[in-house]
């Protein structure tokens, strides 16, 4: 991977500034369109075009050779696992040299420990009728979602709130949903536990590169971590309720002592 061929100059400048401990440059290229959801420009349009061309080439080869492939996940019927087609090293480098360091700034509790990935292409439109509007979470600590193109309408991303494993599908609140445009060439970065979905692609063809970034250390630690998660609204509500119960109990005890 030649960085100057893959990334926009503005992105590379921000990454290089990080090497001098200037994290503000990373935040300066980000738009936080929803709390904890960061959108930014990262890839050269020419690289997006090359990757789309390669995806088309792979699809034609699969069709001609009648090769069976593994689907990228349980809710997309039209996609490719890029690791299966010679792109694992490229995505490893993308994670270790770039995405990991960005996430260390934006998601400091987990970002610096990211050490593996699951990278794939998903496609919508042009007769591809995936059910994508259901809200869900990803099997990742952080997800990088890049819209490669092409021309399309619809396909907006929407986000509700991050939840821990215990509360993944608890009390989904439509009032908390924020919708953001899924523009060609735009990258979106968010926690894998951030509940989200995508609207239907109403015309054209939309192709996204998705990379689930994972941390073996975080996953191992989470097994033994009984502390309330700061990012989970339900955990925070439970924490507040328990604090209130304790205060009420202490007040009763102190009140009883005072009365005696």
Confidence (pLDDT) at 73? 67
Mean pLDDT of 8-29: 87
pTM for the model stands at: 0.83
N-to-C CA span, the chain: 77
| Nearest-angstrom CA–CA distance, 167 and 226 | 14
Cβ atoms of 187 and 45 within 8 Å: the answer is no
Cβ atoms of 80 and 207 within 8 Å: the answer is no
pLDDT at 14 over 80: yes
Confidence (pLDDT) at 209? 94
> With b meaning 16 or more CB within 10 Å and e meaning fewer, what string describes 105-125?
bbbeebbbbbbebbbbbbbbb
| Nearest-angstrom CA–CA distance, 198 and 76 | 12
32-44 pLDDT, tens per residue? 989 999 999 999 9
Sheet containing strand 157-162, strands side by side: 178-180, 157-162, 194-198
| Nearest-angstrom CA–CA distance, 156 and 170 | 23
Class in CATH terms, 3-216: mainly beta
> Any idea which residue has 């970002």 for tokens?
111
| Residues linked to residue 152 through DSSP beta bridges, in sequence order | 204
Confidence (pLDDT) at 260? 47
| Nearest-angstrom CA–CA distance, 16 and 214 | 24
Query: Which residues are CB-contacts of 27 (< 8 A; sequence separation ≥ 6)?
Result: 105, 106
43-59 pLDDT, tens per residue? 999 999 999 999 889 88
Q: Copy the structure tokens of residue 217.
A: 């250390």
| Nearest-angstrom CA–CA distance, 176 and 178 | 6
Cβ atoms of 170 and 220 within 8 Å: the answer is no
What are the domain boundaries of the chain?
A: 3-216, 227-260
Confidence (pLDDT) at 100? 94
How high does pLDDT run on average in the chain?
85
172-225 pLDDT, tens per residue? 888 889 999 888 889 999 999 999 998 888 888 899 999 999 999 988 887 776
């Amino acid at each position: 991977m030649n960085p100057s061929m893959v990334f926009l100059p503005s992105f590379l400048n921000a990454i290089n500034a990080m090497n001098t401990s200037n994290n503000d440059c990373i935040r300066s290229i980000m738009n936080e369109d929803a709390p904890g959801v960061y959108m930014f420009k990262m890839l050269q349009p020419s690289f997006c075009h090359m990757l789309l061309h390669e995806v088309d080439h792979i699809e034609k080869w699969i069709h001609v050779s009648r090769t069976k492939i593994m689907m990228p996940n349980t809710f997309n019927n039209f996609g490719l696992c890029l690791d299966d087609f010679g792109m694992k090293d490229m995505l490893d480098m993308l994670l270790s040299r770039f995405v990991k360091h960005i996430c260390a700034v934006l998601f400091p509790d987990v970002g610096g420990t990211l050490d593996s990935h699951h990278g794939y292409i998903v496609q919508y439109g042009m007769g591809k009728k995936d059910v994508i509007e259901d809200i869900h979470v990803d099997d990742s600590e952080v997800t990088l979602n890049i819209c490669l193109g092409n021309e399309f309408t619809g396909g907006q991303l929407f986000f509700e709130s991050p939840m821990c494993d215990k509360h993944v599908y608890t009390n989904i609140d439509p009032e908390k949903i924020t919708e953001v445009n899924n523009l060609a060439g735009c990258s979106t970065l968010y926690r894998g536990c951030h509940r989200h979905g995508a609207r239907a692609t109403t015309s054209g063809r939309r192709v996204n590169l998705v990379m689930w970034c994972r941390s073996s250390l975080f996953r191992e630690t989470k097994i033994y971590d009984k502390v309330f998660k700061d990012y989970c609204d339900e955990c925070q509500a439970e924490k507040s309720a328990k604090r209130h119960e304790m205060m009420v109990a202490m007040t009763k005890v102190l009140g009883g002592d005072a009365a005696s």
